[in-house]
Amino acid sequence: MTKSGLRNSTTKDFENGRLGDKRLTKRLLHIATTMAANPSASLPQIFIEKQDLDNTYSFLSNDGVEESALWDAHREGTVKRCKDYKEILVIHDTTEFAFDDFGFERQYLSQISTNRQGFYGHFSIAVSNEINPMPLGTLNAIHFVHKEQVGEETAEWWNERGGLLENEHDRWLQGCRSADRALQGVECQIIHLCDREGDSYELMGSLIEDRQQFVIRCSSRDRRCRDQKRKIVSLESLLLEAQHGVETREILVPSTKTKAGIKKAKNTPLIEVRKESLHRRLTNVQIRWRSVTMDRQRLKNVPRDLTVNVVEVFEHVVPEGFEAVSWILLTTLPINTEEDAWKIVDIYRHRWMIEEFFKATKTGASYEKRQITTAHGLLNILAISAAIAADLLLMRACDRNHPHREATWIADADFVTMVKILTPQKQFSKIPTVHEVLDAVARYGGHRKSNGPPGWQILYRGFVKILHALQVARLFGHFPSTA
């Protein structure tokens, strides 16, 4: 049994770590599975024995351990999981990793603010294109700093690792092409998914040249386009002539409050507001779509104008205190019917997964709380934390996508037995299912059915508590055999 209790765990990708030394690979797998058992705790709380803790710090700071080797192992596991699906969404986005000043300066980090140091990470994660997407892991990770935020010595350190980008926007194309190379031998359709920051004529032109599919949110309604007479017009004017959908649908969208809404929320008792509603809300939206030709605007190395399909998503009735939903999605995917246009909307809605991945890395795996003093050590533990974050999201996805599978598909038999012992009021089938066990785990973590389906945070809270009980029972020799 792995220390994390999970079968098919993404942290098990590190079994194939090529660190040039079997002892280092064994140590890596030990660190990853031990951290996964209680990812939100501090390293001294996770590695209780002093020798174990010292070995962990020594591994992370070892100059012979490069984060690229850790990412390679995780990427190989991600690619294997992608082989089970016909359509893979590769979601790209950038996040900031910031570490508070605890009275010491960390080596080779940029000065993000007066009391915080850090760096930036641009990730390309793979998820299955389903109603409830399965998080499959990370295909590419680019770590970088801004030139103006670092000194000469720090700049040199990052430059040697490719983390001082001449043109930072190139990270989007680099991420797309790296993911494409990784999935080259996989028989699936790849669809690249980017938010407004990825809206670049050069990026779209390169992806079209590479014959890659994409869905990218447009950053401006004023984008220069050409009408049928080749006259320059705005994208907004062309959308007014677009074909409207007949159907209105209710979807879950990211929730953005107006200034007045934020002020009102501050005066609302937290107990009256569901936590999830602070992040997303249900709303009714409509769509319209058409094909447009975007003007290349005299850009160098761009041979021609680009023709793409556009889907606009909008709502007529906006709840008080919230900003209206207004998405303009640019895509190479065909749109022949209204249903095709709605599929583009559904694909874009999955972009939320990378936001949850970032939250799971920073909060669930407590990455930004790690008191490691070097950029080298922080980059190494980031690769481990990202795999753990994928595990956090994976449990929830398994519950939603494969509820009727045998529970031992996701958890070891001993763990399933301990769940049954700790939740005697719960009714289980003769052969417990994924949903039955994870429902019990969520309840043990404090979940209430009135709050809707459990999220990854509540699931992992219960998971850690049950795993701890299992470890204690084994320690005292009281756990019954499952043989």
Calculate ∠ Cα 463-362-260, nearest 5°.
110
DSSP annotation of 373 reads -
Pairing mode of beta strands 110-113, 213-217: unpaired
Residue 286's DSSP bridge partners are: 314
Q: At 202, which helix (H) or strand (E)?
A: helix 201-209
Task: Please tell me the distance from the alpha carbon of residue 130 to that of residue 88, in angstroms, as a whole number.
Answer: 9
- pLDDT band with cut points at 50, 70 and 90 for residue 398: confident
Task: Please tell me the distance from the alpha carbon of residue 242 to that of residue 329, in angstroms, as a whole number.
Answer: 13
- pLDDT band with cut points at 50, 70 and 90 for residue 272: very low
Longest dimension (CA), the chain: 81
**Residue 43 pLDDT more than 70?**
yes
* 3-state class (DSSP) for residue 5: coil
DSSP annotation of 40 reads T
Sign of CA dihedral 127, 133, 136, 137: positive
Domains of the chain, residue spans = 1-195+351-393, 402-475
Task: Please tell me the distance from the alpha carbon of residue 204 to that of residue 193, in angstroms, as a whole number.
Answer: 11
User: Residue 192's CB: how many other CB atoms inside 10 A?
Assistant: 28
Higher confidence at residue 245 or residue 321? 245
- In this structure, the dihedral spanned by the alpha carbons of residues 79, 80, 82 and 83, taken in order and rounded to 10 degrees, is 130
Decide: residue 87, CB within 10 A, 0-12 exposed, 13-18 middle, 19+ buried.
middle
Provide the pLDDT for residue 307.
93
Provide the pLDDT for residue 136.
94
Instruction: Specify the range with the lowest mean pLDDT, choosing from 138-152, 251-265, 266-280, 457-471.
Output: 266-280
Task: Please tell me the distance from the alpha carbon of residue 460 to that of residue 410, in angstroms, as a whole number.
Answer: 13
430: which residues sit within 8 A by CB, 6+ positions away?
none
The model's pTM is 0.89
Token pair for 171: 């990270």
435 and 404 Cβ atoms separated by less than 8 Å: yes
226 and 295 Cβ atoms separated by less than 8 Å: yes
466: which residues sit within 8 A by CB, 6+ positions away?
5, 415, 418, 419, 422, 441, 444
Q: At 385, which helix (H) or strand (E)?
A: helix 375-401
Task: Please tell me the distance from the alpha carbon of residue 344 to that of residue 348, in angstroms, as a whole number.
Answer: 6
Q: Mean per-residue pLDDT for 349-376?
A: 94
287 and 341 Cβ atoms separated by less than 8 Å: yes
pLDDT tens digits along 295-317: 877 665 665 788 999 999 999 78
